């Protein structure tokens, strides 16, 4: 049991309710522990907490455009790494034609997010179709390959040395956000059996970031059946029903989709914007305390950012206050938009993420200046 020093108090001019009914002319900043799950204090400032004029040094918000990467191979082991630490690795990959080999990740569970494209995934458990917006969870050790029917762009998130699980949904119950019955699993149909040939196949296995090749005189995806509760699963963001409140802006943790050791994966889906006059309409200013934050922008207009388009990513390391861009904050105050159309994937990592060297070529260097006070 965590015995936090906890005695809620109020000092000076504040709102009594977080994220609503701010004192006139003030800007709220949340300072908290353990992401959005621990003790927190809300401070009310005269100026926007992101109103800096200069920001030098390695600790700063960064943005990357994955659309600028080229020269893709036909294996996930050719994917380009953007961020990583000991608990997770975030990579990007494009594939135009069917893989001619199988792969197996023995370093951890793999989560695929399909940014664009469609096709078939073949694995130990059968055949699974995929389309844009799909999440596919591949348990550690699964053999698999992709056969695109359309050019496919993916984000891959490795849960290094751990497993993906569903979040505890607490008071709202296990069927909120999405019912576990919505998780699709592969089928062993005629198409799966048709690929069980007696021709040579190779499995490329990744273990401790080193590759080994195992050759077979047949296709090792030759299972006749399976039973159990460890299996590849798929869910699309279109099947997610986000939690909403018309009177209170919910924190990103309310949109958690998967959890693993040391990080969580959240999905931001289209939803109505808060309609209560006193409620905050955009994400609140908050310190990045305890967690590094990464967001991949999949579809739509991200309502708290300017000059961000699909395929871009942002990275806000722990150690400074961040929040909506000035134009987005001003637009939120007018309640000009009644609903969001954004789709984005967020990874909140408990331990520091390192930017891979190959990400330098696709960085938007001026991103830090997009918060500058005018």
Closest CA to 348 of 281, 280, 251: 251
User: Where a domain ends, among 181, 206, 237?
Assistant: 237
Q: Are 310 and 299 contacting, i.e. CB atoms less than 8 angstroms apart?
A: yes
Is 78 part of any known ligand binding site? no
Give the pLDDT band (50/70/90) at residue 315. very high
As given in the structure block, the two tokens for residue 202 are 């190779």
Indicate if 121 and 243 belong to the same structural domain.
Answer: no
One domain for residues 233 and 266: no
pLDDT, one tens digit per residue, over 135-171 is: 999 999 999 999 999 999 999 999 999 999 999 998 9
Residue 286, annotated ligand binder? yes
Of the residues 237, 257, 279, the one at which a domain ends: 237
Q: Is the pLDDT of residue 374 over 60?
A: no
Question: Is 360 annotated in some ligand binding site?
Answer: no
Report yes or no on 89 lying in a domain: yes
Q: For position 200, which CATH number holds?
A: 2.60.120.10
How do strand 102-105 and strand 201-207 relate by DSSP bridges?
parallel
Same domain flag for 90 and 213: yes
Query: Position of tokens 């309409």?
Result: 281
Torsion (CA) 204, 236, 316, 88 in degrees, nearest 10 = -30
Q: Which residues pair with 89 in a beta bridge?
A: 84, 158
Same domain, 199 and 346: no
pLDDT at 331 over 80: no
pLDDT above 60 for 336: yes
Give me the number of domains the chain comprises. 2
pLDDT class for 289, splitting at 50, 70, 90?
confident
Give per-residue pLDDT as tens, 67-83: 999 999 999 999 999 99
- How many Å apart are CA 143 and CA 236, to the nearest integer? 22
In a domain, 289, yes or no: yes
Using pLDDT thresholds of 50, 70 and 90, give the confidence band for residue 236: very high
Share of the chain above pLDDT 90, in %: 78
Residue-range definition of the domain harbouring residue 279: 27-63+239-371
**Within a domain: residue 303?**
yes
Judge if 226 and 259 occupy the same domain. no
- Give tens-digit pLDDT for 12-52: 999 999 999 999 999 999 998 887 878 889 999 999 999 99
Q: Are the beta carbons of 116 and 132 closer than 8 angstroms? A: yes
Same domain, 100 and 210: yes
Q: Which of 115, 249, 255, 316 is catalytic?
A: 249
Query: Looking at the domain assignment, is residue 18 inside a domain?
Result: no
* Same domain (yes/no): 337, 193: no
Annotated catalytic, 249? yes
Q: Are residues 89 and 53 in the same domain?
A: no
32 and 141 both lie in a single domain: no
Q: What is the pTM of this model?
A: 0.94
Instruction: For residues 86 and 114, state if they share a domain.
Output: yes
181 found inside a domain? yes
Burial class of residue 101, CB neighbours in 10 A (0-12, 13-18, 19+) = middle
pLDDT band at 332 (very low <50, low <70, confident <90, very high): low
The answer for 209, left when phi > 0, alpha when psi is -120 to 50, beta otherwise, is: left
């Amino acid at each position: 049991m965590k015995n936090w020093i906890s005695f809620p108090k109020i000092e000076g001019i504040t709102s009594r309710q977080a994220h609503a009914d701010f004192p006139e002319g003030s800007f709220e900043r949340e300072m908290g522990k353990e992401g959005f799950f621990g003790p927190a204090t809300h401070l009310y400032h005269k100026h926007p907490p992101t109103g800096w004029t200069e920001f030098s040094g390695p600790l700063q918000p960064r943005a990357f455009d994955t659309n600028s990467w080229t020269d893709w191979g036909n294996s996930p082991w050719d994917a380009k790494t953007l961020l990583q630490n000991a608990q997770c690795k975030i990579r990007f990959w494009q594939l135009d034609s069917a893989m001619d080999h199988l792969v197996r990740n023995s370093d951890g569970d793999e989560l695929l997010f399909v940014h664009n494209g469609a096709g078939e995934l073949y694995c130990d458990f059968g055949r699974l179709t995929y389309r844009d917006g799909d999440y596919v969870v591949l348990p550690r050790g699964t053999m698999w390959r992709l056969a695109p029917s359309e050019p496919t762009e993916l984000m891959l998130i490795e849960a290094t040395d751990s497993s993906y699980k569903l979040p505890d949904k607490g008071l709202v119950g296990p069927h909120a956000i999405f019912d576990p019955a919505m998780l699709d699993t592969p089928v062993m149909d005629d198409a799966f059996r048709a690929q069980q040939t007696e021709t040579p196949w190779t499995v490329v296995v990744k273990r401790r970031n080193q590759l080994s090749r195992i050759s077979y005189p047949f296709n090792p995806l030759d299972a006749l059946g399976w039973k159990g509760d460890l299996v590849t699963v798929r869910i699309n963001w279109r099947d997610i029903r986000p939690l909403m409140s018309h009177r209170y802006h919910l924190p990103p943790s309310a949109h958690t989709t998967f959890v693993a050791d040391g990080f969580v994966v959240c999905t931001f889906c289209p939803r109505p914007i808060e309609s209560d006059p006193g409620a905050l309409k955009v994400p609140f200013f908050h310190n990045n305390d305890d967690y590094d934050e990464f967001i991949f922008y999949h579809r739509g207009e991200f309502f708290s950012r300017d000059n961000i388009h699909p395929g871009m990513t942002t990275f806000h390391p722990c150690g400074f206050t961040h929040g909506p861009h000035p134009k987005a904050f001003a637009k939120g105050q007018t309640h000009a938009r009644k609903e969001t159309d954004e789709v984005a994937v967020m990874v909140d990592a408990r331990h520091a993420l390192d930017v891979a060297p190959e990400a330098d070529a696709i960085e938007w260097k001026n991103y830090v200046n997009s918060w500058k006070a005018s």
